[in-house]
A = this chain, B = another copy of it.
């Protein structure tokens, strides 16, 4: 694959304002379009409310249908992708479409409230909506308190909460859930400049993404980030004849990342760390025990989410600790070059 981009797929989800025409699962949905390795995908995503929140007066339980939360862009049928391959998804650009982002509390959802799984006898916490002003020039979002006049500026740091493929075993999984197929991992590391690696379970991979966040704290504690529609440019590749990717991985210019998504949170940690031990052993030739030792001293372990139906933990390793390794045959650099070439034309 050359680093020149060849063709561009411009794609927008068509739904005519009817949320029931959108897609809310990984698996179980027909592909909306096809895409080829190396092709640039210039597209967009709705926010997780399917655009139903407009002001502090809009409450999720009143303006949203619980069946139509977190709509995904896709699925895309990736030409040539076969089970056992690895799909590489490079985010060349993720930019908020609008100047407002929204966060909310949702009754019986979040890390510091009783919820449908951690069931308790408490009444729900108050349901509220917060509006953030997004300044793309200053690269900030502005928090405005609801119960006082306080405001605070936080860095704009756009990302996608949800990236994934169709799961194995003929499952169809809600876009609210993360797992080994990707899905709603909600890690702030999924920002522009990053390549996400996903194991392919079905022919064509059936890739989708969505859930744009103007920024998010680690853990997504109240359950909702600064939600906003996004304009996103993606470059995709299919890697064949490589060790299987059992759980989603990421790569940036400066680090490699593994993820684990399950409950309890220590098992999500264990998955991410074990996957990093195996990956480092592959990349370096270290024995498993030597890799275990190296990772134990070198890794960072930022939490992604503790609110979704599975929790997600990330293991992060700085590339400068491991000079001269080339993860995934160097696909990250190639996809990044294609993305930049395309963005330079705009």
Residue numbers of A with Cβ under 8 A of B are 24-25, 27-28, 67, 103, 105, 111-114, 117-123, 125-126, 128, 130, 132, 141, 143, 145-148, 150, 152-154, 168-174, 176, 215-226, 260, 262-267, 269-271, 273-275, 277, 284-290, 292-303, 306, 311, 313, 321-322
Contact of A105 among B148, B275, B292 (CB under 8 A): B292
CB distance from A172 to the nearest CB of B (A): 4
Per the bound structure, the CA–CA distance linking A90 and B64 in Å amounts to 37
CB distance from A178 to the nearest CB of B (A): 13
Per the bound structure, the CA–CA distance linking A280 and B170 in Å amounts to 38
CB distance from A301 to the nearest CB of B (A): 4
- Known A-B contacts A271-B117, A286-B150; the reply to A218 vs B301 at CB < 8 A is yes
Residues of the B chain whose Cβ atoms lie less than 8 Å from the Cβ of A222: 292-293, 296
Q: Closest residue of chain B to A128, judged by CB?
A: B289
Residues of the B chain whose Cβ atoms lie less than 8 Å from the Cβ of A103: 293, 296-297
Residues of the B chain whose Cβ atoms lie less than 8 Å from the Cβ of A263: 262-264, 266-267
A-B contacts, 17 of them at CB < 8 A, read: A28-B28, A103-B293, A112-B120, A114-B120, A121-B292, A147-B286, A148-B286, A150-B286, A154-B321, A170-B174, A171-B173, A215-B297, A221-B277, A221-B292, A226-B297, A300-B302, A302-B302
